[in-house]
């Protein structure tokens, strides 16, 4: 597909980008950040073989409809999916080539099993959204579904997808802590939680807009004010 990450092997179909010590990408961010990333990645590795069973009902009743709505907005020809997980989005990918990444090798292994049923060509990589390694102007759309609640430093991840190097349109499905709820709780909230998930107090685009990285196009509530479809674009040099 002609997409290559800086300082890594080419990101070909079903290729994995790995570091030799098994550490998270972005090692320069300090021991504390590495530990947090490593702990969350380890949780996803452990649950990867049975993760889909945890979400079976939510997938059938809600997620598949929301995924289809998000991916209908993706525009190529170059598309990046951040946090591919077990690969449930591959059925909704545009026909253009897609690069799909995740920082959990266990999740990437599960996603590989779905590639044969993908809508179009998919290059699968292991990489951390907190430290993407792609050259300038690589992607036209960056998409993520229920990812940034599990990123140790979500602002760092949003800066990465919002920087000039990683392209134009940004599409997000995200859980957000409903207004007035002090902490995630109750059967409904708990049923939607995954290892490492932290419901954001404010939509992820809110933090990043304050940093001047993203220009918000629209926010669409999908499940009250707890699940949002966020459409944004990166801010260009001229604003």
Instruction: Establish if 1 belongs to a structural domain.
Output: no
> What gap in Å lies between CA 77 and CA 120, rounded to an integer?
12
- At residue 206, the pLDDT reads 53
Instruction: Establish if 43 belongs to a structural domain.
Output: yes
Return the closest-CA partner of residue 126 out of 108, 150, 149, 153: 108
- At residue 164, the pLDDT reads 56
Q: Are the CB atoms for 5 and 11 separated by under 8 Å?
A: yes
- At residue 34, the pLDDT reads 36
- At residue 11, the pLDDT reads 34
Length of the chain: 239
Q: In this structure, what CATH number is given to the domain that contains residue 193?
A: 3.40.50.150
Q: What percent of the chain has pLDDT over 70?
A: 66
Token pair for residue 89?
A: 């989005």
Q: Give the predicted TM-score (pTM) of the model.
A: 0.75
Q: What percent of the chain has pLDDT over 90?
A: 44
Instruction: Establish if 19 belongs to a structural domain.
Output: no
Show the domain range for 187.
27-234
- At residue 23, the pLDDT reads 30
Instruction: Establish if 12 belongs to a structural domain.
Output: no
Return left, alpha or beta for 159; rule: phi > 0 is left, psi -120 to 50 is alpha, else beta. Answer: alpha
- At residue 19, the pLDDT reads 28
The total domain count for the chain is 1
Instruction: Establish if 2 belongs to a structural domain.
Output: no
User: To 5 degrees, how large is the angle CA 84–CA 85–CA 86?
Assistant: 110
- Asked if residue 14 has pLDDT above 50, the reply is no
- Asked if residue 54 has pLDDT above 50, the reply is yes
Instruction: Establish if 10 belongs to a structural domain.
Output: no
> What gap in Å lies between CA 93 and CA 27, rounded to an integer?
31
- At residue 180, the pLDDT reads 55
- At residue 27, the pLDDT reads 30
- Bridge partners (DSSP) of residue 232 are 170, 216
pLDDT digits (tens, 9 = 90+) for 168-216: 899 999 988 766 544 444 434 333 344 444 445 455 555 555 445 678 8
Cα dist from 184 to 57, 140, 180, whole Å: 20, 34, 11
Say which residue, 29 or 152, is predicted with more confidence: 152
Q: Are the CB atoms for 70 and 173 separated by under 8 Å?
A: yes
């Amino acid at each position: 597909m002609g997409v290559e990450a800086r300082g890594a092997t080419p990101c070909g179909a079903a290729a994995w980008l790995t570091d030799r010590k098994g550490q998270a990408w972005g090692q320069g961010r300090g021991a504390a950040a590495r530990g947090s990333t490593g702990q969350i990645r380890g949780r996803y590795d452990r649950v990867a073989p049975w993760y889909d069973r945890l979400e079976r009902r939510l997938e059938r009743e809600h997620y598949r409809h929301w995924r289809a709505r998000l991916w209908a907005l993706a525009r190529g020809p170059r598309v990046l999916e951040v946090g591919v997980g077990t690969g449930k989005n591959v059925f909704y990918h545009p026909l253009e080539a897609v690069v799909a990444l995740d920082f959990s090798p266990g999740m990437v292994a599960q996603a590989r099993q779905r590639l044969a049923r993908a809508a179009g060509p998919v290059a699968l990589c292991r990489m951390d959204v907190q430290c993407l390694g792609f050259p300038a102007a690589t992607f036209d759309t960056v998409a993520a579904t229920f990812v940034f609640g599990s990123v140790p430093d979500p602002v760092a991840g949003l800066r990465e997808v919002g920087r000039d190097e990683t392209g134009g349109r940004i599409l997000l499905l995200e859980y957000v802590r409903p207004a007035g709820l002090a902490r995630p709780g109750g059967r409904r909230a708990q049923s939607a939680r995954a290892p490492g998930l932290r419901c954001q107090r404010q939509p992820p685009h809110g933090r990043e807009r304050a940093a001047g990285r993203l220009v918000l196009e629209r926010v669409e509530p999908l499940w009250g004010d707890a699940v949002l479809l966020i459409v944004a674009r990166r801010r260009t040099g001229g604003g």
